[in-house]
């Protein structure tokens, strides 16, 4: 039986300087370290991928540890009985940023880090717990100390793996093999470049261009800073052999996808991160054993994650980790945001920091594999029947939220269709809410909207208020038995979920606006016979272009804004077209979808400007007589969402206040005579 063996409190401090949050009072912050022991022979642990490859101690146990961060009321009487656990995204604490509109910080301690105080004012016990073993220490990230896998004789394990590198800035000539400075690289088993393959290609589907073995090295650079006076102590640079870096003297060029195929060694048993979360939460909600750092009695537990960690939550549930070692439910409810149709790949040699498969970047990342939906269905390609939810005894309530970007980049339609694209009814304990015309990332505060290497401005739709409403809906569901409103997402049955060709015919012909050639389509990919059981990906994986899954997108109105779903006030009362897609510019993969970016395409300010542009969309002045009229339209839209429970009353007021100056600088548009 796996168990939490020790919870060591490293630091206990008052949060926000001891400020009181409403009637709940002050909060404290705990930084701790949880240590676990797993038994590979126990059925509860035996399902963990590759646990048999983890070194055992004298007791036959596998030991590992994770960082834990807790915010809780100083007075347990102020707690509401609910624990909200964040699966950190790449080790970063973001729960306060998204639920409290706080600044992003991995060291939240000051009053400003509480943002609007929503979670504290409502008495939540907030926990962030490391699960991702390949995150390195640094920048305050949450760290999981997981063992290196070994073969039966205790020797190193090796496999042929793929690494991908894309740079959007010139001057880069060496990179960690992981692609990220904060991520553990899979060490190269040999520094002999002739035993590896290095190549580049323009797009994932175009033929590669080989880079000869004598034009690159397994190495990194050191130096470059002046340390004294004179030639010898000048700004020297040293080339240092490294099994964790790739060095390309000529530099990585923008507009190319670089691929390295090499033999790597020493993977981590990363699936133990799932065990750690399971056993930690079981303990915090009142399990026996070591002292519990949570003072209040916990009656309800919720998990939240976004993007990468939202996919992890889906995998956590699908693979049965929501049952603890005694068979009890771990999380009563889960909130998975912008996961699209994906899950994680907790397998040997997986690079968990890699973002999910997109049209241009990391296209072969095995993030999107059947089952895509919570409902049980049959994969028409393989004939396999499965669903994310299949154990009624321990399946949680689910609120799955996604933006327009997930339909274009992350195959989000498959969350609520079968693999052929037909509407798929979901279980009663699932709600799927589409946040219309918004993008994968939305900050509470926004500078002037950037373009970067995209053809359009970044999407600026504000959706932060939805997070608070979703949590309130979950609380009402679990605590009070009050089911949330029915799912709101596009459907084939009512014409709001369509094929790309139909979408293209609907989107307005805005002069100078290039449209996507297609969304991120999904062929069937065979990752090899060992992958499904936690083994490494076969290199190369086999892509079957003739075997595909349906990828559909939301239908749009005459402005190009999505018709279905939850329309944020800014979408109901728009100042432009807001899309889930954006395109790369010339020299950076021209024409391909860019990362997870959406677009903001402003309306003309006046009828005269609209006529000169030939823009078919009504101008701002034709829609709103004044700034006051615009603000009133925003308030009306917000109040409609609040009546259905999708916005809190406090956020109605915030939306109206933010719209007082046409949402500047978020929109960065100007109207002659006052804006």
Residues 132 and 11 in one domain: yes
> In angstroms, rounded to a whole number, what is the distance separating the alpha carbons of residues 167 and 361?
11
Residue 349 lies inside a defined structural domain of this protein: no
Full-model pTM: 0.96
pLDDT of 324 higher than 70:
yes
Whether the CB-CB separation of 588 and 393 falls below 8 Å is answered with no
pLDDT at 675: 40
Residue 495: both structure tokens together: 């014409």
Residue 236: what pLDDT? 85
User: Which of 265, 288, 307 is the C-terminal boundary of a domain?
Assistant: 265
pLDDT at 672: 37
Q: Can you give the residue range of the structural domain that contains 98? A: 1-148+269-298
Q: Of 223, 242, 265, at which residue does a domain stop? A: 265
- Give the contacts of 516 (CB within 8 A, at least 6 positions apart): 408, 500, 581, 583, 593
Q: How confident is the model at residue 196 (pLDDT cuts 50, 70, 90)?
A: very high
Q: How is 62-91 classified by DSSP, letter by letter?
A: EEEEEEEEEEEESSGGG--SEEEEE--BTT
Euclidean distance between the first and the last CA atom of the chain, given in angstroms as a whole number: 65
**DSSP states of 299-314 as a string?**
-EEEEEEETHHHHHHH
Counted domains in the chain:
2
Smallest Cα–Cα separation from 442: which of 634, 585, 571, 630? Answer: 571
Question: What pLDDT does 230 receive?
Answer: 55
Q: What is the pLDDT of residue 226?
A: 54
Task: Give the Cα separation of 244 and 221 in Å (integer).
Answer: 12
User: What pLDDT does 449 receive?
Assistant: 82
CA distances 271 to 320, 368, 585, Å, are 13, 18, 39
Confidence of residue 232 (pLDDT cuts 50, 70, 90): low
Instruction: Judge whether 638 lies within some domain.
Output: no
In a domain, 350, yes or no: no
Beta carbons of 86 and 72 less than 8 angstroms apart:
no
- 190 and 138 belong to one structural domain: no
Angle of helix 464-480 relative to helix 649-658, nearest 10 degrees, comes to 180
Average pLDDT over residues 504-522: 98
- Is the confidence at residue 209, as pLDDT, over 60? yes
Q: Are residues 194 and 240 in the same domain?
A: yes
Checking if the pLDDT of 13 tops 80, the result is: yes
Beta strands in 308-368 (DSSP E): 333-337
38 beta partners:
62
Does residue 495 sit within a domain? no
Residue 183 forms beta bridges with which residues?
135
Are 172 and 269 a contacting pair, CB within 8 Å?
no
Q: Are residues 3 and 134 in the same domain?
A: yes
Residue 144 and residue 216 in one domain: no
> Are residue 223 and residue 174 in the same domain, yes or no?
yes
Residue from 47, 45, 91 nearest 68 by CA: 91
Residue 542, phi then psi, degrees to nearest 5: -100, 115
How much is the average pLDDT of 208-234? Answer: 80
pLDDT above 50 (res 670) = no
21 found inside a domain:
yes
**Does a structural domain hold residue 462?**
no
The answer to whether residue 656 sits within a structural domain is no
- Going by their DSSP bridges, the two strands 576-579 and 599-602 should be labelled as antiparallel
Can you tell me whether residue 293 is helix, strand or coil? Answer: coil
Residue 443, pLDDT score: 80
Q: How many CA atoms lie within 13 A of 179 on its CB side?
A: 19
Q: What's the pLDDT tens digit per position in 268-303?
A: 999 999 999 999 999 999 866 778 999 999 999 999
Distances (CA, A) of 532 to 41, 290, 309, 666: 20, 36, 20, 45
Give the model's pLDDT for residue 264: 98
Same domain? For 288 and 210 the reply is: no
Q: Average pLDDT over the chain, rounded to whole?
A: 95
| Burial (CB count within 10 angstroms: exposed 0-12, middle 13-18, buried 19+), residue 350 | buried
Tell whether 239 and 225 lie within a shared domain.
yes
For residue 271, with 0-12 CB atoms within 10 Å meaning exposed, 13-18 middle and 19 or more buried, which class applies? buried
Domain termination site, one of 218, 247, 265: 265
Spatial CB neighbours of 597, under 8 Å, sequence gap ≥ 6: 405, 439, 440, 452, 454, 458, 459, 581, 582
- pLDDT (0 to 100) of residue 639: 98
Residue at token pair 């690289």: 185
- Beta carbons within 8 Å of 527's beta carbon, 6+ residues apart: 366, 537, 538, 541
- With beta carbons less than 8 A apart as the criterion, state whether 40 and 46 touch: yes
**In the predicted structure, residue 674 carries a pLDDT above the cut 80:** no
Per-residue pLDDT at 199: 98
Decide if 422 is inside a domain. no
Q: Are residues 136 and 243 in the same domain?
A: no
Give me the half-sphere count of Cα atoms (radius 13 Å) on the Cβ side of residue 172: 18
For residues 14 and 102, membership in a common domain is answered with yes
Asked if residue 130 and residue 7 are part of one domain, the reply reads yes
* Claim to verify: residue 59 and residue 138 sit in the same structural domain: yes
Question: What is the average pLDDT across 511-518?
Answer: 97
């Amino acid at each position: 039986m796996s168990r939490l063996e020790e919870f060591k409190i490293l630091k206990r401090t008052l949060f926000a300087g001891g400020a009181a949050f409403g009637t709940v009072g002050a909060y404290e912050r705990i930084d701790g370290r949880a240590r676990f022991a797993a038994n590979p022979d126990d059925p509860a642990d035996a399902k963990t991928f590759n646990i048999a490859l983890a070194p055992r101690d004298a007791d036959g146990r596998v030991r590992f540890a994770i960082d834990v961060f807790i915010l809780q009321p100083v007075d347990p009487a102020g707690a509401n009985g609910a624990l909200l656990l964040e699966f950190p995204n790449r080790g970063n604490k973001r729960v306060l940023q998204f639920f409290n509109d706080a600044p992003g910080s991995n060291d939240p301690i000051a009053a400003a880090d509480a943002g609007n105080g929503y979670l504290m004012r409502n008495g939540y016990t907030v926990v962030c717990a490391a699960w991702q073993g390949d995150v390195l220490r640094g920048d305050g990230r949450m760290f999981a100390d997981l063992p290196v896998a070994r073969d039966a004789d205790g020797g190193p394990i090796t496999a042929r793996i793929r690494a991908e590198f894309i740079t959007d800035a010139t001057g880069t000539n060496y990179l960690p093999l992981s692609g990220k400075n904060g991520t553990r690289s899979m060490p190269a088993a040999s520094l002999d470049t002739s035993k590896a393959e290095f190549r580049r290609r323009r797009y994932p589907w175009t033929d590669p261009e080989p880079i000869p073995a004598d034009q690159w090295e397994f190495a990194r650079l050191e130096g470059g800073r002046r340390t004294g006076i004179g030639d010898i102590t000048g700004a020297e640079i040293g080339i240092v052999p490294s099994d964790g870096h790739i060095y390309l003297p000529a530099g990585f060029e923008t507009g190319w996808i670089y691929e390295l195929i090499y033999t790597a060694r020493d993977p981590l048993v990363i699936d133990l991160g799932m065990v750690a979360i399971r056993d930690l939460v079981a303990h915090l909600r009142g399990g026996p054993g070591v002292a519990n750092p949570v003072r209040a009695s916990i009656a309800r537990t919720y998990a939240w994650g976004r993007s990468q960690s939202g996919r992890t939550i889906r995998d956590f549930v699908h693979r049965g980790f929501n049952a603890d070692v005694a068979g009890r439910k771990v999380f009563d409810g889960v909130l998975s945001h912008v996961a699209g149709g994906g899950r994680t790949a907790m397998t040997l040699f997986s690079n968990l920091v890699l973002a999910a498969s997109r049209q241009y970047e990391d296209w072969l990342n095995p993030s999107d594999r059947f089952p895509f939906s919570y409902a049980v269905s049959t994969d028409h390609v393989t004939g396999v029947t499965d669903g994310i939810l299949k154990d009624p005894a321990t399946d949680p309530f689910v609120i799955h939220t996604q933006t327009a970007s997930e339909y274009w980049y992350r195959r989000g339609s498959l969350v609520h269709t079968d693999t052929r694209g037909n509407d798929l009814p979901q279980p009663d304990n699932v709600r799927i809410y589409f946040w219309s015309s918004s993008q994968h990332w939305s900050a509470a505060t926004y500078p002037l909207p950037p373009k970067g290497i995209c053809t359009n401005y970044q999407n600026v739709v504000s959706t932060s208020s939805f997070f608070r409403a979703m949590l309130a809906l979950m609380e009402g569901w679990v605590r009070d038995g009050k089911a949330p409103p029915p799912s709101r997402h596009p459907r084939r049955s009512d014409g709001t979920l369509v094929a790309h060709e139909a979408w293209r015919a609907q989107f307005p012909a805005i002069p100078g606006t290039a449209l996507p050639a297609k969304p991120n389509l999904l062929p069937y990919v065979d990752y090899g016979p060992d992958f499904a059981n936690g083994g490494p990906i076969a290199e190369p994986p086999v892509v079957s272009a003739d075997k595909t899954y349906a990828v559909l997108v939301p239908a749009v109105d005459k402005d190009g804004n999505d018709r279905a779903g939850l329309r944020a006030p800014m979408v109901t009362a728009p100042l432009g077209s807001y899309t889930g897609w954006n395109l790369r510019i010339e020299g950076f993969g021209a024409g391909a979808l860019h990362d997870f970016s959406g677009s903001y395409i402003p309306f003309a300010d006046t009828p005269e400007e609209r006529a000169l542009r030939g823009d078919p969309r009504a101008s701002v002045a034709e829609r709103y007589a004044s700034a006051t009229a615009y603000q009133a339209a925003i308030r009306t839209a917000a109040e409609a969402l609040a009546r259905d429970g999708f916005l809190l009353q406090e956020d109605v007021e915030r939306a109206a206040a933010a719209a007082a100056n046409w949402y500047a600088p978020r929109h960065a548009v100007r109207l002659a005579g006052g804006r």
